[in-house]
Amino acid sequence: MEQMIWDESLNVRVQNIDEQKQKIVEHINKIYQKHAERAEPKVLFDLLNELGEGLRMHFALEEKIMQQQGYPELIDHRKLHKLFIRKTLNVRRALADNPDNVKDESLRYLGDWLLAHIRSEDQRFAPYARIRMFIDRQKKSKRMR
């Protein structure tokens, strides 16, 4: 399976969000690699568990920023996050039930979905996040005077 490649076009230019997304991409790449190496199902299961936890933490941060910003598409964005976590859990469950039935396509979906989500949904949200950072910096600057 071809590895996912992080490039500048995926950045939303919010440092902690971009760093988390890069780690998620690296984690999915590790899943791809272990699957290609025919690693024990337990290894893949654990990696999928870790991915799920990383996604929950990342999505919670994104949604918190969206809520603080009054992002008008927060509810729809949150639904997309929940669907993706559910899909990740379904892949993990399928792996636990019958490791031989977990196909490349199921794992590939995880990476494809994430990249598509970043390129569309997250890029629409990015200006709101950057505004929030700017406002926070201005408030800190005024307090320091």
Q: Give residue-wise pLDDT tens across range 44-67.
A: 999 999 999 999 999 999 999 889
Helix (H/G/I), strand (E/B), else coil: 12:
coil
Residue 109, in any domain of the structure: yes
- Looking at residue 7, what is its pLDDT? 92
Residue 5, in any domain of the structure: no
Residue 56, in any domain of the structure: yes
- Looking at residue 73, what is its pLDDT? 95
The domain total for the chain is 1
Residue 121, in any domain of the structure: yes
Residue 9, in any domain of the structure: no
Residue 82, in any domain of the structure: yes
Predicted TM-score (pTM) of the model is 0.87
Q: d(Cα 17, Cα 6) in Å, to the nearest integer?
A: 14
Share of the chain above pLDDT 90, in %: 63
Residue 8, in any domain of the structure: no
pLDDT over 90 (residue 111): yes
HEC states along 50-62? HHHHHHHHHHHHH
Range of the domain at 62: 14-144
Q: Give residue-wise pLDDT tens across range 91-110.
A: 998 888 888 777 788 899 99
Residue 72, in any domain of the structure: yes
Note whether 10 and 115 are within 8 A (CB).
yes
- Looking at residue 139, what is its pLDDT? 85
CATH number at residue 139: 1.20.120.50
Q: d(Cα 73, Cα 121) in Å, to the nearest integer?
A: 9
Q: Where are the alpha helices (DSSP H) in 12-40?
A: 15-36
Note whether 1 and 32 are within 8 A (CB).
yes
Q: d(Cα 64, Cα 76) in Å, to the nearest integer?
A: 14
